């Protein structure tokens, strides 16, 4: 799996957009970018994933650069409940033995 690099921590003012970057310069053509988050003492929560095109759902938007070497997760209007550790993961979709491996993620602190 391609390795990802994320800043260890970020702050964001409540109500503002939170932009969380992720570098995955060794990503290969068939690998997807996934984002999960983990609120303290809870299991990880799936947020969004994408391959090439930008994606948007009710939780967030995912912007993937044209060369796919980096991406940004955007929470358009951050709330205090968005305070969590955000994990960017790159994984292929082939093969029957598939697993999600977590790095250290970005600890997002939403400030009132």
Partner 1 sequence: GAVVSQHPSWVICKSGTSVKIECRSLDFQATTMFWYRQFPKQSLMLMATSNEGSKATYEQGVEKDKFLINHASLTLSTLTVTSAHPEDSSFYICSARVGTSGPLEQYFGPGTRLTVT
Name the residues that contact partner 1, by CB under 8 A. 32, 34, 36, 38, 41-46, 49, 51, 87, 91, 93, 96-105
Cα–Cα distance measured from residue 93 to residue 109, given in angstroms and rounded to the nearest whole number: 32
Q: How far is the CB of 80 from partner 1 (least distance, A)?
A: 20
Q: Give the residue with the Cβ less far from partner 1, 95 or 112.
A: 95
Q: How far is the CB of 36 from partner 1 (least distance, A)?
A: 8
Q: Give the residue with the Cβ less far from partner 1, 19 or 38.
A: 38
Q: Give the residue with the Cβ less far from partner 1, 38 or 61.
A: 38
CA–chain centroid gap for 49, Å, is: 8
**16, 95, 87, 18: which is closest to 46 by C-alpha?**
87
Query: Is residue 34 helix, strand or coil?
Result: strand
Cα–Cα distance measured from residue 7 to residue 41, given in angstroms and rounded to the nearest whole number: 21
Tokens 């990880």 found at: 44
Q: How far is the CB of 17 from partner 1 (least distance, A)?
A: 25
Q: Give the residue with the Cβ less far from partner 1, 14 or 55.
A: 55
DSSP secondary structure code for residue 35 in this structure? E
């Amino acid at each position: 799996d391609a390795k990802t690099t994320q800043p260890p921590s970020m702050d964001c003012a409540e109500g503002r957009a939170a932009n969380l970057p992720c570098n995955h310069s060794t990503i290969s053509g068939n690998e997807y970018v996934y984002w999960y988050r983990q609120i303290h003492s809870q299991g990880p929560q799936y947020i969004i994933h994408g391959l090439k095109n930008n994606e948007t759902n009710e939780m967030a938007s995912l912007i993937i650069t044209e060369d796919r070497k980096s991406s940004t997760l955007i929470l358009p209007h951050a709330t205090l409940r968005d305070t969590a550790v955000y994990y960017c993961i790159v994984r292929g979709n082939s093969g029957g033995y598939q697993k999600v491996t977590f790095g250290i993620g970005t600890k997002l602190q939403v400030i009132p």
